[in-house]
Amino acid sequence: MSEIFEFLFKYRPILFQEGEVSLLSPWPLPVVIGVAAILGVPALLTYLRARGRSSAMDRGILLALRATTLSIVFLIVMQPGLVLTSVVPQRNFLAVLVDDSRSMTIDDADGTSRAEKAAALADPQSPVMQELAERFTLRYFRFSSSTNRVESPAEMTFNGSATHLGAALSYAHDELQGVPVSGLVVISDGGDNADEPIGDALLPLQAVSLPVFTVGLGDESPGRDVQISRVDVPRTALVGSSLVVNVLVNATGYSGQTVPLVVEDFGRIVTTENITLPADGQPLVAPVSFTLETGGVRELTFRIAGLDNERVVENNVRESLIHVRDRKEKILYFEGEPRWEVKFMRLATRADDNVQLVVLQRTAENKFLRLNVDDGLELLSGFPTTREELFQYRALMLGSIEASFFTHDQLDMIADFVSSRGGTLMMIGGRRALAEGGYKGTPLEDVLPVVLEEPDASSSPTDRLVFLRATPTPAGINHAATRVAGSSEASAARWDSLPPVSTTNGIFDLKPGATALLTGEVVDGPGDDRDRVILASQRYGKGRSVVLAVQDTWVWQMDSSIAAEDMTHETFWRQLLRWLVAETPDAVEASASPESVEAGDPVTVTAQVLDAGFVEVNGASVTARVTSPDGGVVEVPMEWSVENDGEYSAMFTPAQDGIFEVAVEARRDSVVLGATESSVRVAPSGAEYRDPQQRRPLLERVAEDTGGRYYTADGVDELPEDLRFTGGGVTVTEERDLWDMPFLFLLLGGLMMAEWGYRRRRGLV
């Protein structure tokens, strides 16, 4: 299309965009208009007075054709021209930035790599660079995770672990401050994977009208490719916990093919899941279930073997770290009345060495039974009355206990347990639970994930008793708490075979943002037969709230239809309780950013330090103890961040590949506030192979937002000419003739032929 435009109008479209059309004739405009009037008026009068066979319509059409012809002649006489601003040769600098990252080594469909194309294009002896060098002083830069000035493109290694395009543009702009710069030329596949938005880097360029000309390399479609795009691995887990990890898979060219997805723990296969690859452009979320039986920092690898004719196999694998903790987590279960649920819940968890279910059961007014406490003083006065006492637990379960039992301060404290401490509150159904227990209108109503409906005061709990058959929702079928069998299909079948459970609580609706894991179909009972919510959860502040709106899950163990060796009830409660404490933070928490780096890249360790009441502590003594893979230990003091209460940070640079373990301890005077651990994986990064196609939209945006232009590898020959007229720096004004455009003469000839043809057809010749 551009070639046709250039043929008709003499110049390419970009010159018309950048220039201004003007009349260049030396003749004064009034003189030319007068001459045109002298010649045109007699012709006009001749047409108007003409008689004979011609009609008024004929005279009008012929007049219009002749007038248009004379107008074009008039325009040619006035010598239209294009006024352009062009850069002065050898008076301006031009930065050439070449992508030096690993993604440039990917082979395209033509069998050559992007690196080969970039090296050939940036070669000073290439036609494009020679033409640019005739007009500009060139400065070369290579960029990946960092940007450097180079004397020659021959210094490129194409081994960068990341692509930070915005930082590269800023670096080149800063390097050329103080000299006239016509523009920046970027040769890249556009695979920017920096955390910073590209728009921030473009603002300074826009402010000084510095255009960026982008040259896109690489195929715009990934070809035949399978990619593991993301894995949702929790940061921590308890030893022996059943994990369900969602793996996001994208594939092109392998629709419907079944492949094994392998999960490894430090190279040891822990599970293999067969998945069916999705249609092109359709992501697949594949849930993978497995159990980690070994404590400590574990490196999980998710892998799909390379397939036939797959172009990029480096993106078939993802690694992630998880801290598997071999410790006992305390859960407080407060029950307001004796019932079988307490007994069978304790039986289900008694063999679990990593969950301590502390039971506080009210036996009479101000009388409590304490089970599984650490010592004789724990819960001696009943339910906790201070934050320090309650916040030592990682989850709180409330059974059939009415809201009026608690003081208002205790209800506020329970809400803070979730929102501020980050604990989990689970409320279990019962005649004194939820709305029936008077929790509507209390601080806990906002915390809960379900809508509490006011119960009918005229009905008794017996009148409201219904039996429900539990069914997992789409979210629940692959959830760690509700997957009670090895596969999702087996788990769904097992839920379908379980006997109904009962409830007196009418829970029908979720709050916005809440997730239902189990729903219940009414199989027996009076009143409303709508489906109920059985198990639901939501995030609330730093923590989470859960509702289990049934009162007798023990029938899943004791019903006559359940075999004696059946472990569904035990599995459900064991997994549910472990899930309750899985994300509960400690008083001292630490994280490393980024969690995966290459040797030589800096890592920032950040710690949040709280006291026993989970209040931020400033001025503490915090130390990070970094253990390298070879056993070397370095202690790094962490400094308090003045901007954020309770936040401390330090930086270190790993020098070798492997897992670096970071142990953080916080003290105030001689008192240990807490200790925690984090880790960093140091290994060559595979980020450059994610989404291996050219990111053309990004390159086009960079060019458009800065006043530059995007080029393909085939169209880059136009770059030198475009830069001459669109670049900045030292410029001059030049004029180019337009009167001899082929379009004008073709139009002139066409009008003359049209007039002759019309006359001939109408018999006027």
Quick: pLDDT tens for 134-150. 989 999 999 998 999 99
Average pLDDT over residues 7-29: 69
The single-letter code of the amino acid at 204 is: P
Same domain flag for 412 and 557: yes
CB < 8 Å & 24+ apart, contacts of 27-34: 27/77, 27/78, 29/78, 32/74, 32/77, 32/78
Least confident range of 231-240, 522-531, 560-569: 522-531
Same domain flag for 465 and 598: no
d(CA 343, CA 220): 62
Same domain flag for 241 and 290: yes
Same domain flag for 237 and 374: no
pLDDT at 591 over 80: yes
The single-letter code of the amino acid at 83 is: V
Report how far apart, in Å, the C-alpha atoms of 318 and of each of 164, 194, 226, 260, 686 are.
21, 19, 12, 15, 8
Quickly count: other Cβ atoms within 10 Å of residue 124's Cβ.
Answer: 14
**What is the reported pLDDT for 35?**
65
Can you give the CATH number for the domain in which 303 is found? 2.60.40.10
Of 307, 325, 343, which residue is a domain's last? 325
Same domain flag for 491 and 556: yes
Q: How many domains does the chain have?
A: 5
> Which has the higher per-residue pLDDT, 56 or 123?
123
pLDDT per position as a tens digit, 105-122: 999 989 899 999 999 999
Same domain flag for 179 and 317: no
Which two three-digit tokens encode residue 158? 């194409």
Q: Residue 688 domain-assigned?
A: no
Least confident range of 398-402, 518-522, 716-720, 749-753: 749-753
Same domain flag for 257 and 157: no
Q: Which residue has the tokens 């995966």?
A: 596
Same domain flag for 131 and 195: yes
410: left (phi over 0), alpha (psi -120 to 50) or beta: alpha
Which two three-digit tokens encode residue 684? 């060559």
**What is the reported pLDDT for 727?**
61
Average pLDDT over residues 410-434: 96
pLDDT at 47 over 60: no
Pairing of strands 258-265, 268-276: antiparallel
d(CA 584, CA 742): 76
Q: Which domain holds residue 655?
A: 588-682
- The whole-chain average pLDDT of the chain stands at 89
Share of the chain above pLDDT 90, in %: 70
Average pLDDT over residues 28-38: 66
Q: Residue 71 domain-assigned?
A: yes
Same domain flag for 52 and 110: no
Least confident range of 51-55, 75-79, 278-282, 483-487: 51-55
Report how far apart, in Å, the C-alpha atoms of 592 and of each of 242, 295, 325, 680 are.
25, 20, 18, 7
Same domain flag for 501 and 619: no
> Which has the higher per-residue pLDDT, 744 or 297?
297
Report how far apart, in Å, the C-alpha atoms of 453 and of each of 430, 438, 450, 546 are.
15, 10, 9, 17
Q: Residue 64 domain-assigned?
A: yes
The DSSP secondary structure of 653-699, one letter per residue, reads ---SSEEEEEEEEEEETTEEEEEEEEEEEES---GGGSS-S--HHHH
What are the φ/ψ torsions at residue 545 (nearest 5 degrees)? -120, 145
pLDDT per position as a tens digit, 497-529: 999 999 999 999 999 999 999 999 999 888 778
